[in-house]
Amino acid sequence: MRSRARPRARAGLTLVAALAASLALAGCSTTGAPSPRGVTPEAASPSNSPSPHVTSPAELCTHLITYWAQQELDEGQGSGLDYQEKGLSDGQNEILLATLAAARQERAAHGSAAGDRLIEERAQRGCAERYRNGAPTTDPWAQTKLPTPSGSA
């Protein structure tokens, strides 16, 4: 019984590998028609794929705050992680704590759906304010660094 299962498993793996290879090759094929002189293949057949989106610092902040606020409220006790383990900066953690306090009050007064809407609004507003001019700080340790004498390496 065991000896029959191994050949079947190998045959299944071989089939999967062959399908994956054929799909990969199918995506690389061309029509074979030559492009007009001076026209690149990309320009001759425009792509329907969307442009990649670069996530801004404010969008990333909003996503993190929203995620951790909902985790905190849904779990009831929190994750047990500190803000650095959650991937938050000190400033983002301040936004999270303020958002959590407001969301708890909103949930108690108007239900969980209202609290969830408030989380989204507060996270977006707080993160937009924090990143309105790009990165909030350039070097948090700049004040502690000693100036180097000129001419030294």
Structure tokens at 122: 């507060």
Q: What is the pLDDT of residues 102-114, one digit of tens each?
A: 999 999 999 999 9
Q: What is the pLDDT of residues 6-55, one digit of tens each?
A: 555 555 555 555 555 555 555 554 455 555 565 555 555 556 777 788 88
CA distance 67 to 129: 19
Neighbours of 58 (CB within 10 A): 18
Q: Are 126 and 65 in contact (CB under 8 A)?
A: yes
Q: Are 99 and 69 in contact (CB under 8 A)?
A: yes
The pLDDT of residue 29 is 47
Q: How confident is the model at residue 58 (pLDDT cuts 50, 70, 90)?
A: very high
